[in-house]
Amino acid sequence: MSKKLLFGAVFAGVFTAWTIALLSNSVLAKTQISIAEIHWLDYTAKDRWQSIELIVPERDTLKRADRQKLRLYELHLAKVFEISHFLCQRDRAAAGYNWSYQAVNGNIEIGRYKISCRLARETAATYGLGKPETTAIRRNFKLPNGRDAVAVEKYAIPTLNITKNRFLQWRDFAKQLTPIENSGTQPANTSFPANNIFKQIKGKTRVPVFLPSRLSLSGNEQLDFDVQAGSHGYIVRMYLGKGCRTRDCYFGSIEAKRDEAFSPPSRLPRDTYRSIELEGGMRAIYFSKCGVYCNRFVEWQRLGVLYRVTLKNGSQQEVVQIANSAIRAGQR
């Protein structure tokens, strides 16, 4: 397949069978809202809490969504409670679900919500349940032999009765539901030595050079760089610790290659693959490959050059921030 055809196939949604099922609107035809993906990590934990991601395509989740004047944000939270209640009914031993609510196909995390089964049942009893909606969920789980597996499953999930005379009550409830704070130290917005790196690339390559201005790093982390460049591209590898070049020290990379095709989608259970949009409407793909570490990637094409940002054990939001910083900074 030519690179042009591959590029078109990626953004037409022609990935793998399970990715098509995840992103196809036909799968979610009966829902009131647009959902890019619901990703459930169905692993038994000691505290009986499990993690789920609700990923939506919109950037503006505060816009009005229906005649009752509910916002998308409020409808998304209703979906969170509907799914939580449904899963709690299926698994009476569950304590609840940790939700990550993400917009722009995962580029922005709006907030994290801890929904206990008790709260989900109380909410369902307060508002009542209506007609079920077909909802597709990507479920990660363990096989009996202990190996990881993934399946896209469709469930008929009853909806909350939040229309007509109940929408004001639901709007007030959603307003009081505040996201939980992320634990641990948040990465700092650290300056990237773009001028120094560019000096090591300049004159060695014929491809346009794009480098970020900022990186997300913890306050005590120091990066060391390994820069290589040739006529058809360049790569800037980043390591934590002076002189360390081992896999444990690897932090990520920024690279460009002329006449390089997009990376093929992976079929490993813990991996993801989705189309996204970067700064200025630039179409791109985000994907992860997980083994001992989970590497996150963002790739986009410009004038026949494939640009890629890689981050080890980061998040989609972090790797997208680096890519957007490089695009905003412009050609060096």
In a domain, 250, yes or no: yes
**pTM of the predicted protein model:** 0.84
Strand 148-160 versus strand 188-191 pairing type: unpaired
Tell me which residue range forms the domain holding 274. Answer: 188-329
Query: Tell me, what's the pLDDT at 187?
Result: 57
Strand 49-55 versus strand 96-103 pairing type: parallel
In a domain, 289, yes or no: yes
Same domain, 155 and 195: no
CB within 8 A of 53, min separation 6: which ones?
37, 38, 39, 99, 100, 102, 106
In a domain, 6, yes or no: no
In a domain, 54, yes or no: yes
Per-residue pLDDT tens listing for the chain (332 residues)? 444 434 344 333 333 333 333 333 333 333 468 999 999 999 988 999 999 999 999 999 999 886 658 899 999 999 999 999 999 999 999 999 999 999 999 999 999 999 999 999 999 999 999 999 999 999 999 999 999 999 999 999 999 999 877 889 999 999 999 898 754 445 567 889 999 999 999 999 999 999 999 887 765 568 999 999 999 999 999 999 888 999 999 999 999 999 999 988 777 888 889 999 999 999 999 999 988 888 999 999 999 999 999 999 989 999 999 999 999 999 99
Task: Identify the burial level of 95 via C-beta atoms within 10 angstroms of its C-beta, where 0-12 means exposed, 13-18 middle and 19 or more buried.
Answer: middle
Same domain, 121 and 91: yes
Residue where one domain finishes, among candidates 153, 176, 199: 176
Same domain, 142 and 277: no
Residue where one domain finishes, among candidates 176, 206, 225: 176
Same domain, 203 and 316: yes
CB 301 within 8 A of CB 249: no
Residue 331 tokens read as 């050609």
Same domain, 51 and 148: yes
Q: How many domains does the chain have?
A: 2
Same domain, 157 and 253: no
In a domain, 12, yes or no: no
Query: Tell me, what's the pLDDT at 279?
Result: 95
Same domain, 156 and 216: no
In a domain, 257, yes or no: yes
In a domain, 169, yes or no: yes
Same domain, 47 and 110: yes
Residue where one domain finishes, among candidates 126, 155, 176: 176
Dump the DSSP string for 99-156: EEEEEGGGTEEEEEEEEEHHHHHHHHHHH-EEEEEEEEEEEEEE-TTS-EEEEEEEEE
Amino acid at 269: P
Alpha carbons 279 and 12: distance in angstroms, whole number: 20
